[in-house]
Chains A and B, each alone.
Chain A
Amino acid sequence: MKTVEGITRESTLEMIGEALEAYPEKGRKKRAPHLAPNDPSACAACVKSNRKTVPGVMSARGCAYAGAKGVVWGPIRDMVHVSHGPVGCGWYSWGTRRNLMQGVHGVTSFAMQFTSDFQEKDIVYGGDKKLKALLAETRGLFPLAKGISVLSECPVGLIGDDINAVAKASTKELGVPVVPCNCEGFRGVSQSLGHHISNDTIRDYIIGTREFAEPETPYDIALIGDYNIGGDVWAVKPLLEEIGLNVKATWTGDGEMERIAATHKVKLNIVHCYRSMNYICRVMEEKFGIPWLELNFFGPTKIRASLRRLAEHFDGRIKENVEKTIAKYDPIMQAVVDEYRPRLEGKTVMLYVGGLRPRHTVGAYEDLGMTVVGSGYEFAHGDDYERTAPEMPEATVIYDDASEHELTHFVEKLRPSLVGSGIKEKYLFQKMGIPFRQMHSWDYSGPYHAYTGFPIFARDVDMAVNSPTWSLVKSPF
């Protein structure tokens, strides 16, 4: 069991108690179950999660639409994704998640903003007619788009539009799949429901509708839950190919509609972001008998373990390749560790992100000699916290849907050497003089996944923690 000097169950409970003091009684009661010291031995979630955000509390959460558009659908490069409703949601999520894609912009790949730009009359009379016209216009202007997703914003659900009927009719008329996704922002408590809804629409409308042209092999796999942030997919896919596997589809980073639609033919799904895509893995397991495996590609220790776990699913050839590959990269990774560890040894980190990062990146920091002393998620469920408990040291603080007030308090108390969180937290903590990396977007760097990513991760962490700019914060006068 990992421990951290100076952090005990009591000290963490005291810190949590102080943070809760500022709340009115009702708010305190609602927030208390979401904050707790870690108990790695229990292997259970120590905090409650996936509950409604407390009103008036500054939360970092997004909405179902954000989960659908920004995470699951948006990265599929060869489809047009229509933000159906008012202009804002699409505009705010336009190009802001860094899921890189190949293709010819506006011809075969569509990292653009398509919207029905609802006006008052659409609210009053409904937007179905407009949607129908818009889909036809899309088809006419973008003939090589492989499909269209329709991602509904709040008003669409509230006024009772039937986008499913429009999608169905348009699919027939236009000859490309039009997928309606009822991911209105008011649904559920966070972006997490948007992931689930999107997975369900892929299940209902897409998967099973295509077949790969080339013959099946025992080594056909799909990479699920990698969004190609800063090129992550382009770091993982070649590694998997190097050990002899055929990555037939990537979900959904740099994703292609038809490859996704044919994923039911693979032999194994490997899932990185469990939170956003465990649903579809379960579907493929139940419906098509495809097993799935959760892996972690952050840092050499976890990559090594992941590759070996992966090898267990295959024959001797793959096992041999895995060992060869590990042997090839180990010295390269050791050189990275040798370079950065001396400057980072003993430093502490606090994390507050979404998806998989609050637990998956712990090992990568440890590879660099750092200790994670607090972790939490914006939109996790109980199973995420179960998986987090063994990764985190004893009694370190775990926070679910942390409010800005709580997070600031914890960071002030623990004064970590680095905070890894999102854009909304970045500048706040930097004002406090605390080094920061945006861990949703890799702070416009990356990739951070796999062997290609680790040297970049290590450099970035070192650069943040040891930037000479921090020494300028205190004025000499």
Chain B
Amino acid sequence: MSNYLGLEVKPLTEPGMEEVERVAAWTRTEEYREKNFARQALVINPAHACQPLGAELAAHGFEGTLPFVHGSQGCASYYRSTFNRHFREPAQAVSDAMTEDGAVFGGQNNLHEGLENAVALYKPKMLAVFTSCMPEVIGDDLTAFIKNARQKGSLPAGLPVPYANTPSFNGSHVHGYDAMLLSILQTLTEGKAVEGRCTGKLNFIAGCDFNTGNYREYKRIFEEFGIPYTFLADISDTFDSPLDGAYRMYAGGTKLEDAADAINGKATLTVAPYAASKTFAWIKDNFAGSHASIPTPFGIAKTDAFLMKLSELSGKPVPDSLRAERGRAVDAMTDAHQYIHGKRFALYGDPDYLAGYVSFLLEMGAEPVHILCSKGSKKLEKELQALLAASPYGKKGKTWMNKDLWHLRSLLFSEPVDALIGDTHGKFAAREAKIPLFRFGFPVFDRVNLHRYPRIGYRGAVNMLTDICNKFLDIKDETCEERFFEMMR
């Protein structure tokens, strides 16, 4: 039989059960771990997506904004589906559907025709354009294309069209978020700086956060403080809109005029040092008022720092209501410490999330053992190691930068832990290792409503604590010997 590979015709082969069991056991050995970690080219089960996904998230955070993917059609479909599955909400975005002819002639025609159709059909207040692989490889010049579209009249005058280059072949969704947010802010604030004007507001950037509950929690905290604020890239309503029989294509988002006026703000605070690093660097040079970039407020200490920073930036004292909330969270943590103290954890996810999980676990006396980031950096590694070094519970902690979930699987077998924190993609490793997976990250495809529960702030700490401790209690009740099954726990 001829075929392209010149293969001989062979009978079917079945590996015997013994062989399968032998190989399965081997994949859990130190030897396999070594081989696995020696990988140079193959990536298996990475814990990160590509830049445009993050860019789309940033775009969804602005009022009336239509995310516009310049590139192949399928990319837009993939980003949208991912958001649909995680949030269980619509995620509306268009693509200019470049195909072979785009590869040859460039994507300008697609972009112009696409802009015209998108404006007519979906009447956006802003079009946020970002690229997928194809135009990046062929070198499409978005700056020129969009300028030409204006000249041609494919775009109505005054319609803001920020654009970002978000090649999928470097960085991750976190970097794409930063790039698009930066472009949106640059576009909207252009020429809006007014000498001597101060909005009196705090500009706030939560970063590439996929938890709508976190956004609502930040807002609640500002309101407790009585701080006037502009939440930049606010997806809380976009991806958590009411079901009342009316479909709103653009639900929620930061008002464009508020975002434009942010340049005259009293202060700007970001709690996403990794996901908004370029944006923050630009803001520092361009926005009025004071600026601060601090870690995401997971756990008590980081929330304390957040509230103190808010107090400093706003000139308002931390309100009693939040002080009481802190006390209640500490009370809850002390009450429940016995269920989590000394428990060993493996964690993976985005940089800002990871730093937060580690901080929280150390406060509980739990031990973060494997901390893995599939798109990490030296800076993140240093920060995580400093966190670990500052606590006796961090002694066993190891950081694994630019490793994937197949590496993690090896770690789970060679240095076992009690639980995993990450996203849905870790469920296979968790099942094999027979440990629970706490889905605090993104994406969560297989559980409902987790993105509605805040993980940040004191309430977020209580939520994480509740989830973790009660799961360990469930496991105990489900697995303990009959004679140890009792009323009290």
Contact = CB atoms under 8 A, between A and B. Distances in A.
B115 interface: yes
Interface stretch (B90-98, B274-282, B381-389, B464-472): B90-98
A54 B94 CA distance: 10
Interface in B424-455: 425, 428, 432, 445
Interface string B224-244: 000000000000000001011
A405 B121 contact: yes
B84 A153 contact: no
Contacts of A212: 11-12
Contacts of B40: 133, 137
Contacts of B96: 55-56
A29 to B, nearest CB: 12
A41 interface: no
Contact of A105 (B75, B168, B432): B432
B117 A27 contact: yes
A119 interface: yes
Nearest to B78: A92
A283 interface: no
A113 interface: yes
Interface in A107-140: 107-108, 111-120, 122-123, 130-131, 133-134, 137-138, 140
Given A116-B43, A403-B121, A431 B246 contact: yes
Interface string B381-405: 0000000000000000000000000
A186 B72 contact: yes
A116 B481 CA distance: 47
A212 B1 CA distance: 15
Contact of A22 (B121, B168, B172): B121
Nearest to B111: A55
B487 interface: no
B396 to A, nearest CB: 26
Nearest to A472: B243
B117 A57 contact: yes
Contact of A23 (B3, B117, B170, B245): B117
Interface string A154-174: 110111000000011001000
B9 A208 contact: yes
Interface stretch (A7-15, A59-67, A236-244): A59-67
Interface stretch (B133-141, B180-188, B264-272, B331-339): B133-141
Interface in B9-24: 9-13, 15, 19-20, 23-24
Given A205-B5, A427-B90, A187 B41 contact: no
B120 A115 contact: no
B118 interface: yes
A218 interface: no
Contact of A405 (B46, B91, B97, B122): B122
A65 B122 contact: no
B81 A57 contact: no
A141 interface: yes
A430 B84 CA distance: 12
Contacts of B248: 431
B245 A473 contact: yes
B78 A62 contact: yes
Contact of A141 (B4, B36, B77): B36
A245 to B, nearest CB: 19
Contacts of B82: 92
Interface in A171-204: 171, 177-179, 185-191, 204
A156 B92 CA distance: 28
A118 B39 CA distance: 15
Nearest to A248: B12
Contacts of A65: 74
Contacts of A105: 428, 432
A22 B427 CA distance: 45
Interface string B20-60: 10011001000010011001111111101110110000000
Contact of A116 (B41, B95, B98, B409): B41
A290 to B, nearest CB: 15
A32 interface: no
Interface stretch (B99-107, B201-209, B295-303, B353-361): B99-107
A342 B85 CA distance: 33
Contact of B81 (A206, A405, A423): A423
A85 B117 CA distance: 31
Contacts of B36: 141
Interface in A462-477: 473-475
B451 to A, nearest CB: 14
Contact of A119 (B8, B84, B170, B425): B170
Given A88-B168, A134-B42, A433-B245, A189 B84 contact: no
A327 interface: no
B88 interface: yes
B23 A143 contact: yes
Contacts of A122: 169
- Interface residue tally of chain A, by bracket? 35 or more
Contacts of A131: 41
B215 interface: no
A120 B137 CA distance: 9
Given A56-B115, A108-B20, A186-B102, A27 B72 contact: no
Given A56-B117, A61-B77, A258-B12, A91 B89 contact: no
A209 B23 contact: no
A93 B78 contact: yes
B49 A92 contact: yes
B413 to A, nearest CB: 11
Contact of A61 (B4, B13, B73): B73
B133 A168 contact: no
Contacts of A107: 20, 23-24, 27
Contacts of A206: 3
A143 B50 CA distance: 30
A130 B42 CA distance: 8
B243 A155 contact: no
B94 A56 contact: yes
B324 interface: no
B117 A186 contact: no
B463 interface: no
A4 interface: no
A321 interface: no
Contact of B84 (A82, A117, A423, A474): A423
Contacts of A89: 74-75, 78
A259 interface: yes
A404 B35 CA distance: 48
B68 interface: yes
A120 B121 contact: no
Contacts of B484: none
Contacts of B425: 94-95
Nearest to A178: B5
A138 B5 CA distance: 19
B20 A104 contact: yes
Nearest to B107: A55
A335 interface: no
B80 interface: yes
B311 interface: no
B90 A27 contact: no
Contact of A63 (B35, B73, B85, B113): B73
A187 B9 CA distance: 32
B4 A168 contact: yes
B77 to A, nearest CB: 5
Contact of A120 (B4, B113, B169): B169
Contacts of B80: 424
Identify the 5 closest CB pairs spanning chains A and B, nearest first. Answer: A63-B74, A88-B50, A56-B114, A55-B114, A56-B117
18 contacts: A53-B97, A56-B115, A57-B117, A63-B73, A87-B48, A107-B24, A107-B27, A114-B43, A118-B169, A133-B40, A134-B42, A171-B5, A186-B102, A209-B7, A211-B12, A259-B12, A433-B243, A473-B244
Given A27-B116, A86-B168, A154-B71, 9 more contacts: A56-B116, A89-B74, A91-B46, A107-B24, A134-B41, A154-B134, A158-B103, A186-B102, A433-B245
